[in-house]
Amino acid sequence: MDQITVLFGKRIRSIRNSKNISQERLAEMSGLHPTYIGQLERGEKSPTLESIYKISKGLEMTVGALFSHMEGTSEEESYAVKLYNKVLPLSSEKQEIIYKIISEIIQL
């Protein structure tokens, strides 16, 4: 197992867990086999470009977002990354509302 494969697997698992999605559900949403998702998460398989694309769509995020923060990702993501992953799939209108709410809270 090479380090990038292990890091990528941890990243998938971390995002999936933060979104409360099972491996089976992610497999269904991405058109991949659940066993394959598990192998990726454990760093046992290196994903193809097609699989990376399908996983990003299944997680409702861009490929770039899937790779962002990868080196610093652990099972315990920072709250900022968790919030980012929750807000990313929302419409721009909802993102703006959340931004304004957070800005108001920070000013308190």
pTM for the model: 0.65
What phi-psi label fits residue 2: left (phi over 0), alpha (psi between -120 and 50 degrees) or beta? beta
Q: Per-residue pLDDT tens for 29-57? A: 999 999 999 999 999 999 999 999 999 99
Among residues 31, 24, 12, the alpha carbon closest in space to that of 85 is found at: 12
Q: Per-residue pLDDT tens for 59-82? A: 999 998 888 766 554 545 567 777
CATH number where 26 lies? 1.10.260.40
Count of domains for the chain: 1
* pLDDT above 70 as % of the chain: 90
Range of the domain at 87: 3-107
